[in-house]
Every structure is written in structure tokens, then in C-alpha cells.
Chains A and B, each alone.
Chain A
Amino acid sequence: MGMHSAPRRARPARTSEEARFRLKRTLTPQRSGTQVVITVLFVVFGFTLTAAVSGNESESILANARQSDLVSLLDDLAQREARLEAENSRLENARETLLGGDEYSALNEAKRRADALGVLAGSEAIIGTGIEVTISGNLTASTLIDAIQELRDAGATAIQISDRGLAVRLVANSWFADSSSGITVSGTALQVPITISVIGDPSVLVPAIEIPGGLVDTVGSGGGEVTVSESENVDISAIVPLPKS
């Protein structure tokens, strides 16, 4: 910007050729103080650009997360740790008992499991808390199957179906069929009224029987009657003989 040169008139480039010429003229190297300053500025600019980009890349997800997110993340981890610690100590205990303890503890553990499995398999008689359901009137096999499924879902551990004289233990391979005077369970003909004895938590089992569309509803609409009684001494005495192996 010498004083001697005619003042350049500031006006927009008229044609694109003129625009390109101006760009080229500006880009041709000139020696002036401000050129040096600008160049230094651009060096710094480029340096800062890469610094900003690489700094952004190295930032992890955690650095950008909000405080609430971090807190919940930490909570999750703490809970998981507590869970794993508990499992660890349980397994350590079992290992201690089996390794260092006397042979009786291992034997007791095995017996306990055998008892539990015996109840499920129907090879053990059992007396415990549960409910007794007495059904009179018209009853079909499909209604009974639905009811038994509901009871199983509600956590029944042992189920027995009986009439006045006969009792049948229900296990995994039990079956039902309609018969003229009542119902046939696994080959045993039972006369109505029948009683279903169930071992389990009464507060869960009773709602399973009484839900809309459940056993009480279905039998009631067919003209029959259902009575449910809770008991602490439900006696399931019928057993399924173990197959000879």
C-alpha cells in the first residue's frame, strides 16, 4: 500500500476470469512484513488444527459423558462387583465344605439333592404346606391339564390327584383322558368329585386357580363346583415306582 501508487479501487470482480486473476495475484509470493506475519499465523493455525483434531480423537467416551451418566455407570459396576463377590464367596464355601470338611457334609449335600429330585420325580412321599382343590360336577381332561399347567407355573413342587379311594401322583409323563364317569389319569380311572393336592406357596397357587378363565371359572360355567382350602399338612402319599434299571 504505497502512497505513490494509484489507490486501488475496491470493487467486486466482474468476471470469473478476473476473479481467478485476483486469486492468482494474491497467491503469488510477495516480500512484505505482513506476508511473514500471515505465514507465521498459518503455521500456528495448521499446528493448532492437528492438535485440536488429534486431541479430539484421543478423548474417550468417558471424558465426554455427563455426570449423571458416569454416576449410573459407576453404580452398575459396583452392583456387578457385589454380585460377583457374593457368587465367589458362595463357591468358595462350597469348595471348602467339599474339600476340607468331613465326608458327611458331601454325603448330606448329595442326600439333600436326592430328596429334592425324588419329590420332583414322584418317588418320595411328602407332607408340606400347600392347597387342596376339590372339584365336583362336569370335568374334562383339557380343563384339568390347563389347571395343572397353571399350578406348575405357580411353583407347585408336587401334585397328586385323588378321588375317594384312589390317588395318582403327577409327574412329567402323566397323562389325562376323559372317561364316562370321570377322568382317567395315567391309566387310573377316577370318579368325580376329585381332589387335587398341591405342595407349594398357597399365596401363589390360589390365584393361579382363581384367575379369570382359570379352573374355577371353567368348572363353574359348566355347572360344577370348586372348593379351595389351604393347609400346612397337605399329604401326598402316592408315589411313582422307580423304573428298574
Chain B
Amino acid sequence: MIPAIGLLVGIVLGLLFQPTVPVWLQPYLPIAVVAALDAVFGAFRSVLDGLFNDRIFVISFLSNVLVAAVIVFLGDQLGVGSQMSTGVVVVLTMRIFANVAAIRRHLLKA
């Protein structure tokens, strides 16, 4: 519950301050956000699976974001940055869909 409020607080803060993303971070931020989204949905699923562990969640959240950004950074260095970010987004989106499907099965049995 508190993290949900934290999320709201973060969104409100972002709307209030209208932060400008530094240029060097611009390619990686959207990917990191999608990776974080994937971690959050994964957490919901593990709650319903009875596997949720807050320590694991924190670590997976951070490592998800970091690995996604590093992969895109590597792609940029290799000259395939846009393709790499497309690939990462596709994989993360597939995971999000799979997690949402599991959550739906748990909550609605459908």
C-alpha cells in the first residue's frame, strides 16, 4: 500500500517539477521504465504465486533496470542501439503480458 502511495507521490512530483531528461540518459530512460514496469508486474504475480520476497523484489527491480540500460548502451556502442532497444522492449513487453495473464488467471480464474 505504501509503495503504491509512493508511486503516486513520485508521479505528482514529476508533474510538478517537469524534469528535463539529460541528453545522455534519453535513450536509456524509456527502456529502464519498461524494465521497472516488468519488475512490478512480476512482483504482483509472485505475490499471488506465494513466492513474493521483498528482498528479491528490490534486487530484481534494480538489476532489471540496470541490465536493460546496459544492454541498450552496449548496442549503442556496437552501432545497433535502436535495434537493441526495440529487442529489449519486445522481450519486456512479452514478459509483462505473460505476468498479466498469470495475475488474471489467479484473480479471475479465467
Q: Which residues of A contact B (CB under 8 A)?
A: 1, 8-13, 15-16, 19-20, 22-23, 26-29, 32, 34-35, 37-52, 54-56, 58
* A29 and B4 contact, CB distance less than 8 A: no
* A51 and B21 contact, CB distance less than 8 A: yes
* B108 and A16 contact, CB distance less than 8 A: yes
* A55 and B61 contact, CB distance less than 8 A: no
Q: Which of A10, A22, A27, A44 contacts B10 (CB 8 A)?
A: A44
* B50 and A11 contact, CB distance less than 8 A: yes
**Chain A residues, Cβ within 8 Å of B8:** 46
Q: Which of B10, B12, B49, B54 contacts A32 (CB 8 A)?
A: B54
Question: Does B2 sit within 8 A of A, measured CB to CB?
Answer: yes
**Chain B residues, Cβ within 8 Å of A23:** 44, 47-48, 107
**Chain B residues, Cβ within 8 Å of A38:** 2-3, 6, 54, 57-58
* A47 and B13 contact, CB distance less than 8 A: yes
Question: Does B30 sit within 8 A of A, measured CB to CB?
Answer: yes
Query: Besides the contacts A38-B57, A48-B33, A55-B21, what 13 more A-B pairs have beta carbons closer than 8 Å?
Result: A13-B49, A16-B108, A23-B44, A34-B57, A39-B5, A39-B6, A43-B13, A45-B10, A46-B6, A50-B10, A51-B21, A52-B29, A55-B20
When A22-B48, A38-B54 are in contact, do A46 and B10 touch as well, CB less than 8 Å?
yes
Question: Does B1 sit within 8 A of A, measured CB to CB?
Answer: yes
* Docked complex Cα distance between A234 and B52 (Å): 100
Contact pattern, B 1-26, Cβ under 8 Å of A = 1, otherwise 0: 11111111111111100111100001
**Chain B residues, Cβ within 8 Å of A8:** 50
**Chain B residues, Cβ within 8 Å of A11:** 49-50
Nearest chain A CB to B70 CB, angstrom units: 17
**Chain B residues, Cβ within 8 Å of A52:** 21, 29-30, 33
Nearest chain A CB to B56 CB, angstrom units: 10
**Chain A residues, Cβ within 8 Å of B14:** 46-51, 54
Mind listing 27 A-B residue pairs with CB under 8 Å? A8-B50, A10-B49, A11-B50, A13-B50, A16-B106, A16-B108, A19-B106, A20-B107, A29-B2, A35-B3, A37-B58, A39-B6, A41-B62, A45-B36, A45-B40, A46-B7, A47-B13, A47-B14, A48-B10, A48-B33, A49-B10, A50-B10, A51-B21, A52-B29, A52-B33, A55-B26, A58-B20
Question: Does B32 sit within 8 A of A, measured CB to CB?
Answer: yes
When A43-B6, A46-B11 are in contact, do A35 and B49 touch as well, CB less than 8 Å?
no
Nearest chain A CB to B25 CB, angstrom units: 9
**Chain A residues, Cβ within 8 Å of B18:** 54
Question: Does B51 sit within 8 A of A, measured CB to CB?
Answer: yes
Nearest chain A CB to B52 CB, angstrom units: 6
* A19 and B107 contact, CB distance less than 8 A: yes
* Docked complex Cα distance between A56 and B33 (Å): 13
